[in-house]
Amino acid sequence: MIGQRSETKQAVVIIPEIYGMNQYIYDWVDFFRERNFDSFCVDLSQKERVYQYTHNCEAYQAFIDKNGFMTYQEIEIDMLELRKDYNKVIVFGSSVGATVAWRLTENPNCDGMIGFYGSRIRDYLDVSPVCPCLLIFPEQETSFEVRSIIPRLNQKDKVDVHVLAGCHGFADRYGDYYCEQSANRGLDMVNYFLRKID
């Protein structure tokens, strides 16, 4: 994990999309820093490479080859180490990163989880979080019907689920599917979530 420590006692593990540590992820690092969190970023891409959005097939294959959604097991070890220095450790992820973050919510070292458009969460609906979770989905996904999984997620006590207008990637101002209104609503939800778990 890549990170920088300060005097704060709050940490966030940021798990990016398949594209790696791009500007969208660095914007989230800044967002959490402004809210008094030390950020620790997990690089899911091969050799710390940043992929262009047009190379999504190559980026996804690199993610799968490197460990795919089992990456959460490596992150659990890192979270155990972070727990020694931080009173609160939360996880944040976008897309595949949100699905990996979702798989961490059964870990007692996870104090909260925020996930944007984690479409593969649909494959892990048996996860039972032990911490508060904020899941934000787009109305439109190319691979499945979002609303089909909402009832199952709503049955989980600690999970707060929202569906916002737009497509997968609506919060990424650098991507083709950016939707400013939904991105701003998502930020408001994240701010509220952070205040609530404080």
- Tens-digit pLDDT profile for residues 20-45: 788 999 999 999 999 999 999 987 65
- Reported as a single tens digit per residue, the pLDDT across 138-164 is 999 988 899 999 999 999 999 999 999
**What domains can you pick out in the chain, each with its CATH number?**
2-197 (3.40.50.1820)
Handedness of CA 122, 139, 154, 11 (dihedral sign): positive
Low-confidence ranges of the chain (pLDDT < 50): none
- Give the CA count within 13 Å in the CB-facing half-sphere of 161: 21
> Rounded distance, CA 22 to CA 160, Å?
27
